[in-house]
Amino acid sequence: MHLLYEEGGDIKVATVLSSSGSGDTESWQASALSGKHLKLKAKEVWLRFDDADLSVMMNQAQNLSSTIDLQLLWDCSPEGEFIFSEIAREYFGDKTSNSELVALAVALQGAPVFFRRKGRGRFQRAPKEQLQAGLAAIERKQKESEQQSAWQKELEAGHLPEVFRQHCPDLLFSPDKNSGIYKALMAACNASGESPPQLMIRCGALESPLIYHEGIFLKNHFPSGSSFSSEVDLSPEQFSESIHDLPLADVHAFSIDDASTTEIDDALSVTPLDGGHYQIGIHIAAPGLGIQKDDLLDQLARARMSTVYFPGGKITMLPESVIQLFSLDEGKARPALSLYVEVNSEGMVLPETEQTRIELVPIAHNLRLNALEDLVTEESLQNENVSYPYRAELLILWNAARQLHRLRQTKRQANALREEPFGPGDPQALVRDFHFNIENDVVQIEARQRGSVLDSIVAEWMIFCNSSWGRRLAENGLPALFRTQKGWGPQRTRMQTNPAPHEGLGLDYYAWCTSPLRRYSDLVNQWQMMAIARYGVTAKMLAPFVPKDATLMGIAADFETSYQVYAEHQDRIEKFWCLRWIEQTGMPCQLKVRHLKEGMARVEKLPLYLAIPELTSHPRMTVAEIEVIAVDLLQLSASVRVLHIEATEGDLGAELGLEESPKEKDVDSDASKP
């Protein structure tokens, strides 16, 4: 004897092995077609029947069920509930075979649009209105499926369906996974073995992998776009009101920046005094005058936290119109927060002479590194016969910068850290600064050695300013965003609201203050310093952020997160353009690399890190010659073959400048700007 039953929504049959009980309590030990043994109770069984070959009968039933006219079956069915075996006589006639009964059970069970399940083997036909709605839905899904198949075939052939063009960004970065176009795209990807961006590049929907990398970043961190609303601005009237009572400084200030810098937020001045002394002015752009805590511009800057730098572009923290009002541009008197200090004839800074003022500063010149860096050397500064802008002033700043550096190194050594060289580093060290010149998808990458005279001048005086204002904030009991470094480990350098030493720089206090146009931390600290400049000892009560301000603690955490994310994006785009440079150079491309650790190496003339497993067992700084045979600009990877490994002795990391220097991460100078 065989049994018909339902399991998990499917109609199945089994052969009885033994039985027990009788009537409603009867049960059977049975064997399914799969060979599985199971126990069935009377209330679970739809039909008992005999048949010579159960497998053959089940195949016949499955084939027959697909031929059953469900509409006719619905027409033949009564209004109320019915048992499937009863309706079989209406559909097949009085002489109904076992295979026909099973086929009908399968058909009824698989047609929820036509029939509602009411219990073991019992059904009721759906109301006419619901049936019509269900059939319409089935037809619509069928058409959608056919359309998806047509789209899929076009995509596989490398043609982009017209309807996809307006949805390409959404498909890549924020897809509706229930939409037909997304399902067609994924089906085409599964068939071709490509990723969505690969397929869309092949179809011409995505111009280059660069757009994909930038799109991911914008989708995650600028979902509403990177442009600024016209409502967020500072009117000329508001700007004039914010600076109307500022005194004009009696200085001729000049800035030192890269040629591409548009956010000029620091400048220097040198004014002779009696007795061979000089007054040094460090002038910082003052957007804190026009931007007030919690206003629309503040909310915007707080949301962005920093300007995002990357090769070929940037996303500014503030609107360009606001930057233009406060940037220390040549030929204009601009509002600034200035730190003044005297130096004597030997270049020693006299800390007791420090003064902080809010004022208008005349900017005489914007000096550019590309025009002066090669001219300004230690030798040329001492040679009065050499002529270039501000040579005498740069000499004074250089001599004082040397003394500031010496004092910091004494403190570094007390912290058990090695002394850092002043000025140009080891020419054999791996270069860490690069300039990317990108035009028409062609990239030129120029290395720039750190530690030039101009680098050192700007770096040391910005460190001095950040340290001095950090100390003033601490002494006045004002919370701020202090940059600290203590001990070792991945979290040793961090942003916090209470003062602490920065051991790497050799400073007791350090707070980023000198780039308020491009970093929110500096804007916050500027507000706090302005409170000190205005209110003195009462600043603690009148500053925008008071002690134990939970908002400021949140800002510190958010800034760290955003700054890290932006740095990762910069690294990612730099890697793209390095691989693009290799691709345009032609492959195979031979390069030299230096092993860092665990098989990770850096190309000598590019800011490009590559995984080279063959170097894993070799010492740090082992030099190898490699051949790049292929690059993948979407995966940002390269296929590399090692040609030759040069022998090295010992760990040359320190000698070659590979140790992570706190100065490289935390110095606020033009050289450190991305």
Contacts 24+ apart (CB under 8 A), 79-83: 79/125, 80/124, 81/118, 81/119, 81/122, 81/123, 81/124, 82/122, 82/123, 82/124, 83/121, 83/122
pLDDT band at 83 (very low <50, low <70, confident <90, very high): confident
Task: Of 225-229, 573-577, 635-639, give the lowest mean pLDDT range.
Answer: 225-229
**pLDDT over 90 percentage in the chain:** 48
| Angle subtended by helix axes 520-535 and 296-304, to nearest 10 | 130
Is 403:380 a contact under the CB 8 Å cutoff?
no
Residue pair 566/574 in contact (Cβ under 8 Å)? The answer is no
The reported pLDDT for the residue numbered 633 is 93
Gap between the Cα atoms of 171 and 175, Å rounded = 4
Kindly tell me if the per-residue pLDDT of 648 is higher than 70: no
What DSSP assignment string belongs to 291-332? --TTSHHHHHHHHH-B-EEETTEEE-SS-HHHHHHHS--TTS
In tens, the pLDDT along 525-556 reads: 999 999 999 999 899 889 999 888 899 999 99
Name, in order, each residue with C-beta under 8 angstroms of 477's C-beta and a sequence gap of 6 or more: 540, 547
Looking at residues 178-190, what average pLDDT do you find?
90
User: CA nearest 457: which of 410, 501, 401?
Assistant: 401
Length of the chain: 674
452 Cβ partners below 8 Å, 6+ apart?
369, 373, 376, 423, 424, 671
The residue ranking higher by pLDDT, 369 or 666, is 369
Give me the pLDDT at residue 110, please.
84
pLDDT (average), residues 48-71? 84
Asked if the model's pLDDT at residue 329 lies above 90, the reply is yes
Averaged pLDDT score across all residues of the chain: 88
Query: Would you state the pLDDT for residue 414?
Result: 87
Residue carrying the six token digits 């004092």 = 407
The neighbouring-strand residues paired with 255 are 366
Determine the residue type at 287: P
Give 341-356 pLDDT, tens digit per residue. Answer: 999 989 999 999 999 9
The domain locations on the chain are 2-126, 139-206, 248-565+664-670, 568-663
Q: What is the mean pLDDT of residues 419-440?
A: 80
Q: Interhelix angle for 296-304 vs 550-585, to 10°?
A: 50
Alpha helix (H) ranges present in 157-258? 168-173, 180-192, 196-202, 209-221, 236-243
DSSP per-residue letters across 532-601: HHHHGGGHHHHSSS-TT-HHHHHHHHHHHHHHHHHHHHHHHHHHHHHHHHHHHH-SSEEEEEEEEETTEE
* Tokens 């219990």 found at: 119
